[in-house]
Amino acid sequence: MQARAVTFIAPQEVELREREVPEPHEGQLLVRTLYSGISAGTELLAYRGDIDPQLPLDSSISALADRFTYPFHYGYSCVGRVERSRASIDAGDIVFAFHPHQDRFVVDAGDSVALGSVDPRLGTFFPLVETSLQITLDAGEVLEQPVVVIGLGAVGILTSALLLRAGARILAAEPKPWRREAAAAFGITTVVPDDLERRVMAETGGAGVPLVIEVSGDPAALGSALPLLAHEGTALVASWYGVRPVTLPLGAEFHRRRLTIRSTQVSTIPARLAANWTRDRRRATVARLLKELPLHVLATHVFAFDDPAAAYAALARAEPGLLHAAFAYPASRSLDADCC
């Protein structure tokens, strides 16, 4: 069998190339893709060439065993219909799978999740909701605590929304007005970055906040977050900056106030949570959240799979109004015809 896959061939250059698709083995699925979500974080770094080429794509996912060395296939948010199954998931089911952008593929059943009645386009948010859930878990106890979120891309908005559900008092900073408008639909209080420090100090009596979550992807944002922290406060870094350098003001105030900078990452369950959380529990929670969160607010753009360059160019230039983009595959048109 042959398939077409988005192939990263050089910085800011992508094209469709054919790949051979093997027959599914025991425990695997053959899937025809309907939609695949495009990451505005890691994937945009890959498109720009801002990732170490020797770094593995993602060693925790079998379909992403290669490295960021050109040419490579990337993406990790496919939703499609199972054409053939050698696992417990039935043929005909709609599934999410951690797999690069490709119109037909074989995947281990363990790297897929049956979506049931979830809209396939909204199913492409699965990894973003999972990342946001892990950030929220890594944030720890936030009930009635003021928390600052810097950056309101899709992950920033979803993280803020989940922190609100956990009882935090959120103040989020974002320069783009359409992102602030989308965040408001989730009940998130927002400010422009230039007004953030004044608002934080006014609302905390000058004490600062115990937690800042940096999810903007901007290497300069973390340094500006540290002055917002209270004594022994924590900056939780969700952004991946790739190979771009980050300069931080780690002088006397950083030491005297005992500040902490800590990373959060979704590929593993941290040791302190392992007694209560497993990958399967986290994914089951995400599947439920896909039905509960107003994800349609974030699903702003769909691009034809036949023209991948247009999608990445729109992301790279930060097209106004774009919050989350997905590829639509020819199979999605037949799904629409069946439904409507």
* 259-318 tens-digit pLDDT: 999 999 998 999 999 999 999 999 999 999 999 999 999 999 999 999 999 999 999 999
pLDDT value of position 241: 86
- Cα(322)–Cα(107) distance, integer angstroms: 30
pLDDT value of position 340: 41
pLDDT value of position 338: 52
153 residue type, one letter: G
Q: What is the pTM of this model?
A: 0.93
- Which residue, 129, 172, 181, is CA-closest to 151? 172
312 residue type, one letter: Y
Instruction: Identify the segments of the chain with pLDDT beneath 50.
Output: 339-340
Cis peptide bond upstream of 71, omega within 30 = yes
Contacts of 219 (CB under 8 A, 6+ apart): 241, 244, 245, 246, 247
Contacts of 82 (CB under 8 A, 6+ apart): 29, 30, 31, 89, 90, 91, 92, 93, 94, 95
pLDDT value of position 158: 98
Per DSSP (E only), the strands in 227-284 are: 229-237, 260-263
155 residue type, one letter: V
Question: Three-state SS for 95?
Answer: strand
- Cα(114)–Cα(90) distance, integer angstroms: 9
Integer angstrom CA distances of residue 69 from 51, 78, 86, 98, 334: 9, 22, 32, 20, 35
What domains, with CATH codes, occur in the chain? Answer: 2-125+299-339 (3.90.180.10), 128-272 (3.40.50.720)
